[in-house]
Structures are given as structure tokens and as C-alpha cells.
Chains A and B, each alone.
Chain A
């Protein structure tokens, strides 16, 4: 990268805020999806909104693409650097700016960790979106990805809890989207920005809504012979009109991996269900009776109820460690993230089993079963020639399966680099083109994470729709040949 540009960055963020040595840059060459790696030209670490603006202005002037990065835990390559571009790391902007308990609002900088928000409002409130990486992932990253987690079944996703944003647009200007109060007049661009995977600008301040902790939380653990039985119980619970705080399912392979890694003491069964109910004590008690009965009638042969904070933590530990636990039973694995309509679960499961047999690779399954969000984990050994390719193909055929069943290619991990080629499986050209028109309103020069999400970029000056004569033609001054 041009040293004059680097000097300008250095002048903005100081010597210790600019990384240019290859060994330093190596840390930033990928995010949680490690099979894509690109070395950025530089990494800048701003400490304020003004610095972010100044850095982005330099990028805009010199047409340098940039990628914003939080903790780098994303699983779709959203924070993968762009060749000849820079990474803007927000980790030093990690202050909690305001805690307003009486209005259940917290204002944070993007580098604040997800769990820190809950810690700031504990014990009466909590921040509801809880991706499994919540101890290390940042709010800025959550905003970019519209992160979910186990409890979004009842409480909603990141977008439900973001009331307002301060955003540095790709030309360096500052805008405020949404705000501390609801329904502010204007387009809901806060809603558009959340989940836009870094392609619309950089959030430098986030107004979050926190939620009152319920009076009682109980987690039921039910062991079934198969995931189909467990799936029938999920449908039964939903059909009974119960809306749990979370319903999670694990298959036998996932249970064995979790057991090997963190010893949650799960029963060794074909399908394990975690059902969490929360709310006023009498309500939870009444509904738990129903849930138990449904599980039993669907074939649950062991049911345990975790009531204390410690018991619940133990139950959740195994679930939240499930991805990492795969390392205990396989040298390599691919984490996939697809969504299906809940009712398609049995057929999709048996199809995954068939595909897995065909490929000769094991697939462990962890689901947010309440909302049909599957996390198939494709296990392989990269040392065996050809296995990695087979694993990738298997992972992708599972995604196709999800779309065919009426679902989505991603429920919470994002499209990023990994799945952009899959967008046309789910969306037609006019759908993608309309999204990119919105993108053009934010980033006409295509500088903010430009190569992600969409399979091919759209030139913002492109005319769409039917042919429209140029004003010069209409005026008879020019003719089209």
C-alpha cells in the first residue's frame, strides 16, 4: 500500500493504531470461517467515531475498500479482508456509554462484547440475543450479522433489540438511524442496516434495548430414541400454544461430542431436547406440566428439570460448546447454518442422513428446533485426500435441501463470503437487484465490504427496468443508434 496513504492513517490513529507488518496482519486474515484467508494491506484500530470517519474518508478519496471487524468470530467470512483493502478493527471502541435502566436502554460502542451488556444490567435485566459466542463476540459484529442465538425464538433477533445506530457511511459522513424512542418518522434504515453484513457502512454507536429478567426460568432436558420423536415433541409443544424461551435439539453424535468436551452429563440418546420456559412462576409451572406430558407422549424416556442457576448453566454448557466439541470426535468439521419450516424436519433429517451416507462422511446435528434453524456439522479429515472437497459439497447440498423445503441458506451466520454464490438459489435476479439498489444509496462507490453477500456486484449507475429515453433524445438533440 502507498506509504503516503499509510502515513495518513498513522496521522489519524497514531503509530500503535496501525498494523502493517505481515506477522501482525496474519491475525486478521480470516474470521471464524478459517478456510478463506486474505492478507489485508493494513489494519487500523480507531478509538473514536471521529477516527473512523477520518479513516473512511481517506479510503473514499483513494478508493480503497475496507472491511469492518469486531471480534472476528463470524462464521461466514463476513470479516474476511479484501485484497489491497484495509481492515478497520473496532475492538478499541469498547466503552459502554450509557446505562438507562428505567427505560431499559443501553448505549454502547461497537467493540463492546455481547455478554458485557448483560453484565452491565444484571441482575434485573439482560440482553436477549445470545449467540453461542456471546462471551467473545462484539455488538458491532452482532449488528452486522443480525445475530440470533437460542433465545430468539421468544425474544427476537439482534434487530428486535437495536433501537438506534450511529453509522459512518462509506463516504465518511455520519448519520443517525432510529433513536432512543420508537417509531421515529422516516424509513426504517436501522432495520435495513442490521444484518447488512458490513456492506452499508460502519456502526460506531448502538442503542440497545434490554429485557426484564423473568421471575422464573426452568430448563427441561428430555431424552428420546430419535430426532424424529424429539421433533414430534417440538411440534406438539408449539401446537399446544406454548412459546418457550428456547427449544434446542441435539442428535447422538452431537451429544457424544459435547459429553467428551465439557461433560454436561447428558443422557446418551438418539435425540435430546432442551426446552426452556420463563415467565411468572405460576405460568411457568402450569406450562411445564403440559410440556412434560407432551414429551412423555412422544416417547421421552428420561426427563430432568434444571431449576437452579447452576443446573441450568450445566445444561446449557453442553449445547453452547457443541460446535467446538466436534474437535473431540473429528479432526476437521464444517459448521453449516440453514433454516427449514419446522414441519419439514423429519424429511430433511432423513435426507441429510442419506446424503451423509452417500458422501461417506458423518454429520452431527445441533438445532434451534423451535424456529427450524439447523446447524449440521459435517465431519471430515483434511489429511485424507478428497475429503475436504466432499465435505464442502455435502454441506452445500444440505443448504439446497433447506431452500427446497421452503427455508433459507442462513438463519444467523450470514451470507458473507461463504454463501454469496448461493443467493441465486434463494432469490431471483430482480430480488437481488432491488437489494443492491438499496446498497447503492449507502455505498455508490462500493467500498464497504464490497465483495460479500451478493454473487455479483451491481454498478450503481446501471439503469434498470424498461428503456427510458435520455432527456437529450426527448428534446430531439440526440438520437440513439
Chain B
């Protein structure tokens, strides 16, 4: 059973890590704990390093539209003071009330707003990292434009706690929108919605988010989000309705831009995964999903961003059936140049299905980066790609 430590400063994080490395302990960094089961179970876990006490918003330079925040601050808590000055961190990760800044960075959890504002890698401009040997290193800075030195904020983003503990991040901010509007469409079949999604991306509409919803037992939907002035929104709506003449407009579902979260709700056994594909292959992915889930008990749902990244859930079958469906899906996705990763699943499924898939010819380089920054394998050993 791992013990939990809650350091209250960067120095304490450094001391803890240095001591843990010396003693050969495996350390699992933890933020809000919402995504702790993503990826492979670590080979060992002696110490859980919680960032719960590192939860301050250190600076909001609203004139410069940047903010410096400690890793343990939840996303929602950060947004509150920013909003007082009409600003925001323009990202919409899962469970913002509980998910922390360090956690969304480590897991690279990007929501639909990415279509307009970029992913976390595009929003983070500075980072403070503590390496396993206790080295405290900063990279980037407090200005949006900066090319001095290597871009370690990007290295930390999506590294799943295997390279360093993120203790602080600096972000570029965006203004809160004047107004927002979401238009939702449906059709008996998924195909026209996927075609519309592509047509919108190829048009001059300035949408901020775009997602396709599909599932075995649900009517497919397409949601398009806009931000801007009233005049701008009205004219974009007119243009979109012209493009969408062949499908039916309906009211958006409740909390439309958080429907991704519903994929984590349901009955076990289930698998939740994510995939990437070319935008033109989104439809093919959904078709594959449908075809891979022919077993009568196997239910599936997916929420896919127009950019070609999405999440899916498979539910209600044995591990055998789930693994077979996953293998078939991955093969189909990889044939088209995409990737598929299992985030949540039973121990049994994760033991039988390589949750990350192959990282290709870059694996030796990944291993050397890990070796340089965490030579003793202290941080989240075995959680990430290729056993990193």
C-alpha cells in the first residue's frame, strides 16, 4: 500500500523526490486523481506525491494576459479569478471542478475548444519541473513569444508523470467571449453529419468547437460552437444553416460541451479509450466502431472532435469480447495512419491489450529521454508507452 505525501512547497517536492530516488522508491505524482488510472498500472507505487497543497494562483497579469499557477490548483478554481478580468484559460478539460492544472497537463487532456485556441501545448508558455534527483528546473517564461532554450513545457505536457513532477505552469490567456452560441444537428444516419463536419471545417466559418456524437443506441449528433459579437454570430448561423440544409437542426443537449464526460459513466465491465485520425477518417472510425461491436451485448458510444481526436466507450461484454473489438479497431485506425489508446479498463483488459500501442521508431529516443531525466525509474515506472 503506497503512502501519500502532500508537500507544501517546491522545495519540499524536491527533497521528497531526492530522498525517494536515493531510497529506490517509486513515486506516483497525483493531482485531483481523476485520471490516475489512465495508461498502464505502474510497475510499483511506494509513494503517492499529491499536489493538493500546491494550489495557489500565483499571478494573474491580466494586462499581459498570462497567469502563473501551481500544479495542484483545479481548473475551475483558476478560471474564477481570471473571469473577474474577463479572461480565461481557453481549454475545457474533463471534470474541471476536480481536475488540476498539473493533471490535465500530464495527461494532455484537451477539450473541444482546442479547435480554435489550440491544445494545452499551445497555451502553456512556462513550466517549473522537479526531476527525480531533486533538480528544480524552469523552462519557457512569462511571455507568450519566447524561443530561448528548449521547449520543456511541451515535453512535460502529455508525459503522464514519468519525467518530472510539474509544480507550476504559466499560461497565455484569452478573453472571455462576448457571446456564445451552439447549433446542434441530427440525422438518422451518421454519414451526412460527418460530411457536414468536414464541409464546416473547409468553410470560412470561425467555429470554436466542433464535435460528432455517435452510439449504438443513440441518434447521432453534430454540435458546432461559436463565439463572437451578436452580429457576427447571426451571420455565421445563417451561413451554417445554408450548409446544413440536408440535416435536421435540434436543440443542443444539456451541457453539450461536456458530453465527453458521459463516456465515463455506465456499468462495468467497460473500456474508455481515445483515438486520433485524419479529419476525413472520422466517419470511417465510427463505422469501424459500429462494425467491431457486432456482439449483441456490446454497446458503444463516441464523442469525436472534428480535428480527428475523440473518445469512445465500449460496454457490457466480457473481457474477451472487449479485447477482440479493441484489436480490430486499432488495426483499422493504424491502417489509416491513426492511433488508439485505452485509458480506462479492467486489469484484465489492460493486461491483455497493449493500452498505448506502438510508438514506432521513436521508442529508443523516448527511453533515452527518460534515462536522462529519471535514470533510476523513480517516477510512475511502467505507466507510459513502451513500459516507460
Contact = CB atoms under 8 A, between A and B. Distances in A.
A215 B204 contact: yes
A280 B236 contact: yes
Interface residues of B, number: 92
Interface of A: 100, 102-105, 124, 145-146, 148, 152, 156-157, 159-160, 169, 174-177, 179-189, 191-192, 194-196, 212-215, 235, 238-239, 241-243, 279-283, 285-287, 339-343, 368, 371-373, 406-415, 419, 423, 426-428, 430-435, 437-442, 453, 464-466, 468
Interface stretch (B157-165, B244-252, B253-261, B291-299): B157-165
Contacts of A343: 61, 63-64
Interface of B: 18, 21-22, 61, 63-66, 86, 108, 110, 118-119, 121-122, 129, 131, 133-139, 141-152, 154-155, 157-159, 163, 174-178, 198, 201-206, 228-229, 231-232, 234-236, 239, 274, 276-280, 307-309, 337-339, 341, 356-357, 359-363, 365-366, 368-369, 371-373, 384-386
Given A179-B337, A181-B308, A437-B372, A408 B146 contact: yes
B61 A103 contact: no
Contacts of A464: 133, 135
For the complex of A and B, list the 10 residue pairs with the smallest distance between their C-beta atoms, beginning with the closest.
Answer: A465-B133, A283-B232, A191-B154, A241-B175, A434-B137, A181-B276, A282-B235, A343-B63, A441-B368, A215-B204
A194 B151 contact: yes
Nearest to A179: B337
B385 A412 contact: no
A165 to B, nearest CB: 10
A124 to B, nearest CB: 8
A413 B148 CA distance: 9
B262 to A, nearest CB: 21
B157 to A, nearest CB: 6
B86 A431 contact: no
B147 A182 contact: no
A420 to B, nearest CB: 10
A432 to B, nearest CB: 7
Given A241-B176, A408-B148, A187 B155 contact: yes
B122 A156 contact: yes
Contacts of B341: 185
Given A182-B309, A187-B163, A441 B371 contact: yes
Given A186-B363, A438-B373, 6 more contacts: A102-B198, A286-B229, A372-B145, A410-B147, A434-B131, A434-B137
B145 A435 contact: no
Contacts of B206: 214, 279-280, 283
B374 to A, nearest CB: 10
B140 to A, nearest CB: 9
A215 B202 CA distance: 12
Nearest to B178: A241
B276 A406 contact: no
A181 B339 contact: yes
Contact of B369 (A102, A183, A187, A465): A187
A124 B203 CA distance: 9
Contacts of B151: 146, 159, 191-192, 194-195
B104 to A, nearest CB: 13
B361 A176 contact: yes
15 contacts: A160-B118, A176-B361, A176-B362, A184-B276, A186-B363, A189-B369, A191-B121, A192-B150, A282-B232, A340-B143, A427-B148, A434-B131, A437-B373, A465-B134, A468-B22
Contacts of B276: 181-184
Nearest to B63: A343
Contacts of A238: 65, 175
Contact of B141 (A182, A342, A407): A407
Contact of B158 (A100, A183, A279): A183
A103 B64 contact: no
Which of A187, A241, A438 is the most central at the interface, judged by chain B CB atoms within 10 Å of its CB? A187
B137 to A, nearest CB: 4
A373 to B, nearest CB: 5
Contacts of B143: 339-341, 371-372, 406-408, 411
Given A183-B309, A235-B63, A280 B232 contact: yes
B353 to A, nearest CB: 14
B280 A409 contact: no
Nearest to A409: B148
B239 to A, nearest CB: 8
A102 B306 CA distance: 12
B66 A432 contact: no
B154 A159 contact: yes
A372 B61 CA distance: 14
Contact of B138 (A104, A212, A282, A427): A427
Contact of B148 (A213, A426, A428, A438): A426
Contacts of B61: 341, 343
A239 B308 CA distance: 33
A428 B150 CA distance: 14
A438 B232 contact: no
A112 to B, nearest CB: 21
Contact of B150 (A105, A243, A408, A438): A438
B386 to A, nearest CB: 8
A145 B254 CA distance: 45
A243 B279 contact: no
A210 to B, nearest CB: 12
Contacts of A406: 141-143
Given A181-B308, A427-B138, A410 B148 contact: yes
